[in-house]
Chains A and B, each alone.
Chain A
Amino acid sequence: MTTPANLKYTKSHEWVKQEADGTVTVGITHHAQELLGDLVFVEAPAVGRTLKQGEECAVVESVKAAADVFAPLSGEVTAANAELAETPEKINQDAYSAWLFKLKPSAVGELSGLLDAAAYQAIADADKH
């Protein structure tokens, strides 16, 4: 699967999509779900919670392992994808549409520090070798 060019990424395998209303949508990458294997449990952050960039804010667990999800940006959680609690496998099926939560960024400058698709793809490729 190709890494979508319209998204931004973190080294810790989150993807970030800038929405028209100024919020961002966050999920984990295809490469991350591939490393984890079949997902069986997702815990998204509570709506209204204030996050600092880099803070542990969600958990995804596969049959194999638990992994923390880190806030890609500082801000307030405005929505969480409740559907994933019942159907965590949606992340395996399509990691870039199965979003975890939405955030209203409080420090817009942080956005420019995220990786673009090519830079993230290079990290993912390096993992595989």
Chain B
Amino acid sequence: MTAATLKSTPLNALHRELGARMVDFGGWNMPLHYGSQLEEHHRVRKACGMFDVSHMLAIDVRGAGSRALLAYVLANNVGRLQQPGKALYSCLLNPAGGVLDDLIVYFFAADWFRLVVNAGTADKDYAWLTAQRDAREPKVTLTARRDLAIIAVQGPQARDKVYAALPGSQAAAADLVYFSAAHMGETMLARTGYTGEDGFEIILPAAQVVSLWRQLGTLGVAAAGLGARDTLRLEAGMNLYGQDMDETTTPLETGLTWTVDLKSERDFIGRSALQKTPPARHALGLVLLDKGVMRGHQKVVTLHGDGEITSGGFGPTLERSIALARLPLAVQPGDAVQVAVRDRLLSARAVKPPFVRHGKVLVQP
């Protein structure tokens, strides 16, 4: 794909002005880092950083049949969304139980939900949802909100910085519990994120995003790129779609069993397949004991057979390499394993993710 065909967010020119190294990510021209990925990572853990995540897509689901439609297409239980503003993490499954995407669904009113989906899967998701809508709830409207931009402000100082940058936001958001959202005019403030830190994801009209970004920058919030976003989410033990899971894996194999609602009677796409086929593998974290860096697709050798790393890298907060891996079911947290890194086998230990939460390391090597 050439630069000319890459999509860009409303902040693209500002990223370049800030000296960002730009890369192609899922068809979008996005900032990888603005100088030092490690420094951006530490800023988020210790203070506050901001990410342009406008490549993700907000899809508004409106109409009386919205809840019924989402109850059928989402694996998590939308019935739990009763308080306006409440959010839920869920997979979107195909009939075989494979993961089409992972998303957050926000509930605002009986006839209004909002989904936020991954950039690389957005078009596929929208087409899939449209087909399900046409078949089951033809009166529901689905609107792809490319007129909106999204900034994630994350870190222990994130909320205070947002309150200072956005007049009225403290009154609107001070009472928000984790995983909930409020609207302030056209701006949506959600206490969600992809870093393991406190903070907000702010969804606002595209025309307003440059001035908000500049205002946050004036207050000392560090611009952070996709590189830091990846190491932060890996330390937080969060899956990356396309890497830790895809249409060929089920949520039960990838650490997302807790997001699949098999308790209620509700029928949803993928349910019967998941119930027929118990998982053969499960996901755990790995901490490398030897020196080196684990990477995706490396083989993991265990007493119970081989597994594979799905995401690996260097965890800057732990100052050692960590990974998410798909392993034989018999492998348990605490077990010693080996990872094939180039021409040798390095020692690692299986752990239960997350590795880091709210600035604190939760696993021991």
Contact = CB atoms under 8 A, between A and B. Distances in A.
A85 B38 contact: no
A66 interface: yes
A37 B291 contact: no
Interface string B313-327: 110100001000000
B293 A38 contact: no
Contact of B295 (A37, A66, A85, A89): A66
Contacts of B342: 59, 66
B87 to A, nearest CB: 30
A40 interface: yes
A40 B39 CA distance: 13
A89 B314 CA distance: 13
Interface of B: 21, 32-33, 36-38, 227, 231, 291-293, 295, 313-314, 316, 321, 342
Contact of A63 (B21, B291, B292, B316): B316
Contacts of B37: 37-38, 63-64
Contacts of A63: 37-38, 227, 231, 313-314, 316
A61 interface: yes
A59 B292 CA distance: 10
Bin the interface of chain A by size: 10 to 19
Contacts, number: 40
Interface in A32-64: 37-38, 40-41, 43, 59, 61, 63-64
Given A37-B33, A37-B37, A38-B38, A66 B293 contact: yes
Looking at B33, B38, B295, which has the most chain A CB atoms within 10 Å of its CB? B38
Contacts of B293: 40-41, 61, 66
A37 B33 CA distance: 9
A37 B34 CA distance: 10
A37 B314 contact: no
Interface centre among A38, A61, A89, A92 (most CB of B within 10 A): A38
A46 to B, nearest CB: 14
Contact of B314 (A40, A59, A85, A92): A40
9 contacts: A37-B36, A40-B316, A41-B314, A43-B291, A59-B342, A61-B314, A63-B227, A63-B314, A85-B291
Nearest to B293: A61
Contacts of A92: 36
Contacts of A61: 292-293, 314
B295 A64 contact: no
B38 to A, nearest CB: 4
A37 B292 contact: no
Contacts of A85: 291
A77 B310 CA distance: 36
Given A61-B314, A64-B37, A92-B36, 11 more contacts: A37-B37, A40-B293, A40-B314, A40-B316, A41-B292, A61-B292, A63-B38, A64-B32, A64-B227, A66-B342, A89-B38
B22 to A, nearest CB: 12
Interface in A59-98: 59, 61, 63-64, 66, 85, 89, 92
